[in-house]
Amino acid sequence: MKNNDKMLYVVLLFILFLQYQIKQQQLKTKNMTTTKTPQGIIEMPRISNSIIFERNRENADNQNLNHCPCCGKAITNPKYFINSIYGGDVYPAADKNEYDDAWVMGVGSECRKKFPKDYVMTESEL
């Protein structure tokens, strides 16, 4: 292969690489602009004493257990779950769409009573 052919080959590879990068960026931008927000978002009920919450959460962490997002107490066998979004809000259980910054969390059996019934789900509903 001559030097000119090698240079042309490198340039073509570079152009293909740039086209790929542009396409990837377009896909990312498209996904970002079409992100939906769930309907019916409510604030997660929490205990007002942050010191007690942190103490409860630390005890749960020391036992290698998940903690309730409302009170911080350990959840040994999660039976109830919520759709959490934005780190402190909740949306209805019937909404099975996927959103950015959203995840399913276990909630304690006592704290689940603080939520409207249509915001809490059981394991079979996941």
| Annotated domain spans of the chain | 1-34, 42-125
> Is residue 81 scored above 70 in pLDDT?
yes
Q: For the segment 60-80, what is each residue's pLDDT rounded down to a tens digit?
A: 999 999 999 999 999 999 999
Tokens of residue 68, six digits = 């309730």
Model-level pTM?
A: 0.70
Q: For the segment 36-62, what is each residue's pLDDT rounded down to a tens digit?
A: 889 999 999 999 999 999 999 999 999
Residue-level pLDDT at 22: 76
Q: For the segment 8-21, what is each residue's pLDDT rounded down to a tens digit?
A: 777 677 777 777 77
Identify the burial level of 73 via C-beta atoms within 10 angstroms of its C-beta, where 0-12 means exposed, 13-18 middle and 19 or more buried. buried
